[in-house]
Structure 1
Amino acid sequence: MACNITKVPLLRTITNRSFASAANVKPIGGVCDYEVNNSTVNGVLVTSAENNSPITRVSIIYRAGSRQECNDNQGVAHVLRICAGMTTKSASQFAITRNIQQVGASLHCTLDRETISYTLEGTRSAVEQVLPFLSSVATEQEFRPWEIADNIGRLRLELATRPPQLRTVDLLHKAAYRTALGNSLFIAKYNLEKVGPETLQHFVNCNLTADKATVVGLGIDAKELSYFVEKVKFRESSGTAINPSPYKGGEVRCDKGGDLAYVAIVGEGAGHNNMKEAAACAVLQKIFGTGSSAPYSVDHGLLRSSIKVTDSYAISGLNANYADTGLMGAMFVAPYGVAGQIAENVVDILKNGRVTDEWVNKGKNQLKVAVLLASENGKSVVRKLGQTGALTGSGISPIQYVNLVDSVTTQDVNNVLQKLGSKLSISSFGNLTCVPYLADLN
């Protein structure tokens, strides 16, 4: 039976809302070896890179994802993403959409657990014409009750169409962190009509401020980007701190029946505050396996090689890096009858596994290829520059990251693997008849 679990990006689960999109045109990526310039303008980090692409992308990123939610406003970040592009202080929803469409550009909003990003992309001349609308959408939000009400149906649709693997990852964060990073990327059904204009405006005023902002430009001159940032009127700092989110470990189960069980098993990984260890986690993910690298081929990762199950199943390494912590482990989907055996094998690898130089060299090569291929996709580059800039204070180029991967040793990877087994987190979704509890696996 076919399964696409290994094709779903699990590094950082991201949701997005796009609008005012032009016809789909395959962008030319430009060169992948370019210099990344980092500077500060009016207290805002500005990261730019000229990759000689005809497509320019400019993104305003705030360190204000679902991690910043509290009990009183659960789901506000999800609603904020849905509200991107609605009427602002200086432009109506119609004016924003019409003007961006007129020049053939597009504007979209993406959200993860730590950041929310507003990204404008198009040809160089098009982006230059509509940059003021990006500024308006990202810094001048005004929330009209009737516009929010019109999007309740969109929220219900997104909740109803979440794939099982995404729900499993969401539950995994709840098990591992409880609050802050444990907050879901999606609003709960019982809160659908409780997040109103006042809640949204308070969240924006506290979190979408200059001290939490980063501006990233790809395919644009550093001076031009700095000049744009000088004219943007960001909100002044509110003094709101980033919510702490220590790793705690635990288990969350959601029994939904059916024929399949979706299970994620992880330990504490590394955050962006330790880039060397985070790179070792990324190498270990490739060693575990992330699906076949060629059509019709077989995944020869460590997990697949170590699990002796005759039934069809899919398994992938899972790695998520946040500012100060991370998750590292594996996720699989299998017929419920063999899910228990696979879970036991995965836990044994996390607790007792060791990797050799051969495995590490293979993982490093696969990771470097993946990074360089991703650098040909402008959207991927802007997202990565924005995340590293917002969470570490400095964006790095793909070549710099490849050099970091080269410095990872076998001992670094084994140190990460040894750390994973000390305290596990497990989430499971689907038919859990044969899925063991965490206490039984320990």
Structure 2
Amino acid sequence: MKKLLSIFLIHIKKLSTSKHDRSVCWPKCSYGPMEVQRSEMLNGIKIVAANTSGAMMAACTIMFQAGSRYESSNFLGASHFLRAASSGSGCGFTAFSKLRVLQQHGAYLTCSSDRQSISYTLQCPLLYFSKLKYYLLDTAVRCCYHDWEISDRKSLVRGDLARIDPEQRVLDLIQKALWAGPLANSVFCEDERIDQMSGDILNDYVMCNFKSSNCCVASVGVPFEETMKLAEQINTRREKPKLKDCPSSKPRAGFEYYDLGSGSDTWIAVAVPSCGTDDLNNLFKHAIVAAACGVDNMQQGQHELDRVPQPPLGLMTGADIFTNFRAFNISYADTGIFGIVAKTKSVTANRNALAVSEFLANVGDINFTQIQDGKKRLQLSLALHEEDCVKVSEGLALQLANNVQIDSVHNCFSMIDMISLDEIKATATSLSMNCKHMAVAIVGDLGVVPTDEEILKR
């Protein structure tokens, strides 16, 4: 027994004196993707691939800067139909085979668009990516847009218009009210344009706007070499095509509305011009100001009335549990929009419409404590989305499109912490000074809300 004990103590001594590396035993204390690699092809396609720490799900995004702001009068509503037609047949696979094969492999293929860009994203197990990537290519750059399939999608587009959430509608209308120019184009196809849409119009729109010079390919969990091979199949030409310039949009301080009938819930949005994504530091300042005002709820309950809103906007509701306020900041390549949206009952719509305009006109009065809270809220919001490979993939594609390099939430945290409170305070003050360009949009009971002159009178 003594002999065994002595042998055991010798081994313990060897183990305690041996060299060890903590990085081998423990994961790296960092957020988000790791080992991000970037490249750019001769034809202008930008590529980024991020490795993850052992995640089995992968995502790949093909993004074109071809949103609704690039729709001329002949193409109005094309981006909405592109979203609806993304499940249609391509040059290599039928719509039925896409649906069946992707479901069999636990994969998802989605298309999303806004006023700036259109994104096609494939999410699938990494094991099947080399096979399923052809379905992504077939949808993003090889879709046929047959007339008979477009005719079938017209009922789907009409259904989209009927199912638009009122808050989504008011956010779409506020941008139409604020801008004079291409940014006033809606992300939805107007009802009178649906019957005019055809496969030829969509093919012409894709031919004009889906160019390699405004294309970005981003992946999460996919090897860089595999991502590069996929990008090479988008466009085999070496020359970089030249894109026509998109006309700029100017603020017009307009008023838009949509009537839901007497006694209906009412959504009110007020907004002023903000900043674009071309200035990353300024973009973070505006995002912090929005978070400092309150962009979400501090606590989510079982239903919409069981919530605790973020102050100071949340304090405006008082004892009214049916009213909710939140700030928002939407940025595009060259400009953006900052505003406040309120949801309220018909009986309190008049008072709350005046309240949101008054708050926006005095947003420069937020104090340093609220700004510091806004920093923390923004950092938390960024961290919550970092485990979603689809959001990370689309975020990396946006970074490429705007020629910025952030890579991970950890880097975002550092950039946010480096911005001084005085700079953010100055940004909030400049937003207050922009109130001469304030726009208003209302969805709900139009009979009880004040007119635009009454709202803008402070």
TM-score under structure 1 length normalisation: 0.87
1:332, distance to aligned residue in structure 2 (A): 0.4
Q: Distance in 1 between matches of 2:426 and 2:348?
A: 30
1:312-339 CA-to-partner distances (Å, cap 9, x unmatched) read: 3111111111111111121001122322
The correspondence of residues 229-268 of structure 1 with structure 2, limited to 5 A, is 229-233=231-235, 237=241, 239-257=243-261, 258-268=263-273
Deviation at 1:308, TM superposition (A): 5.0
Aligned partner of 1:178 in structure 2 is 180
Match of 2:194 among 192, 195, 210: 192
Paired AA for residue 119 in structure 2: S
Q: Which residue of 2 aligns with 1:92?
A: 94
- Quickly say closer, same or farther: Cα 1:321–1:35, change in 2 above 3 A: farther
**Which one of the candidate residues 346, 369, 378 is aligned to 2:389?**
378
In 1, are the aligned partners of 2:342 and 2:356 still within 8 Å (CA)? no
Cα 1:238/1:225, change in 2 over 3 Å: same
Distance, in Å, in 2 between the alignment partners of 1:167 and 1:47 is 34
Rounded to whole Å, the distance in 1 between the matches of 2:410 and 2:322 is: 38
1:126-169 CA-to-partner distances (Å, cap 9, x unmatched) read 11112122122211222211111111221111111111111111
Matched, 1:322 2:326: no
Which residue identity is paired with 1:391?
N
- SS state at 2:298 partner: coil
- C-alpha change, 1:133 and 1:347, in structure 2 (3 Å) is same
How is 1:80-229 mapped onto 2 (pairs within 5 angstroms)? Answer: 80-229=82-231
1:299 aligns with 2:309: yes
Query: Could you tell me which residue of structure 1 aligns to residue 78 of structure 2?
Result: 76
- TM-superposed CA distance for 1:284, in Å, is 1.5
Aligned position for 1:288 = 293
1:352 maps onto 2:362 in alignment:
yes
Gaps of 5+ in 1: 1-29
Any gaps of 5 or more consecutive residues in structure 2? Answer: 1-29, 302-306
Aligned partners of 2:236, 2:251: CA distance in 1, in Å? 33
Mapped to 2, the partners of 1:437 and 1:403 lie a distance apart of 44
- Percent sequence identity over aligned pairs: 23
Cα distance per residue 1:74-125 (max 9 Å; x no partner): 1011011111132223333334334333433221111111111111111111
Counterpart AA for 1:434: V
**Residue 363 of structure 1 pairs with residue 374 of structure 2:** yes
Alpha carbon RMSD of aligned pairs, Å?
A: 2.2
Shift in Å at residue 417 of structure 1? Answer: 2.1
Aligned match of 1:38: 38
What residue is the counterpart of 2:417 in the other structure?
Answer: 406
> Taking structure 1 as reference, are residues 39 and 210 closer, same or farther at Cα in structure 2, changes over 3 Å only?
same
Q: Tell me if structure 1 keeps the 8 A contact 2:46–2:215.
A: yes
Q: 1:94 and 1:205 mapped to 2: Cα distance?
A: 25
Deviation for aligned residue 1:306: 4.4
* Separation in 1, partners of 2:125, 2:270: 43
Query: Is 1:47–1:395's contact at 8 Å kept on the other side of the alignment?
Result: no
Q: CA deviation at 1:357?
A: 1.6
1:428 aligns with one of 428, 439, 442: 442
**8 Å Cα contact 2:298/2:310 also seen in 1:** no
User: 2:70·2:182 contact (CA, 8 Å) conserved in 1?
Assistant: yes
Q: 1:241 to 1:311 in 2, by over 3 A?
A: same
Residues in 2 aligned to 1:234 and 1:153: alpha-carbon distance in whole angstroms: 36
Match of 2:282 in 1: 277
TM-score, with normalisation over the residues of structure 2?
0.84
